[in-house]
Amino acid sequence: MREEITKLPKQEVKQVLKLPNSYYEKGLEQGVMKGIELMIFEMVKKGLPENLIADIAKIQIEEVREIKEKMNRLS
């Protein structure tokens, strides 16, 4: 595969080499978001107020409400 990449024009090589990094970054971002969501689930279960959850998680109250709705649908 490396041999084939070296035959490409330089601009195409840059694009091809960006692909693995972009997938990694997207996966990392999704993992972080899932972790935040799980943390919010636990705070909701403990009965913390929405405004406190939003402040701790650094998100909007609307996002806390969306996650709470998702919890209710899954229950």
List, for residues 13-49, the tens digit of each pLDDT value: 667 666 666 777 788 888 888 898 899 999 999 999 9
Distance CA 2, CA 6 (A): 6
pTM score, whole prediction? 0.61
- Work out the percent of the chain whose per-residue pLDDT is above 70: 76
Q: Output the six-digit token pair for 45.
A: 């279960």
Give me the pLDDT at residue 43, please: 95
CB 49 within 8 A of CB 35: no
- Work out the percent of the chain whose per-residue pLDDT is above 90: 40
Question: Mean pLDDT in the chain?
Answer: 83
Distance CA 71, CA 25 (A): 27
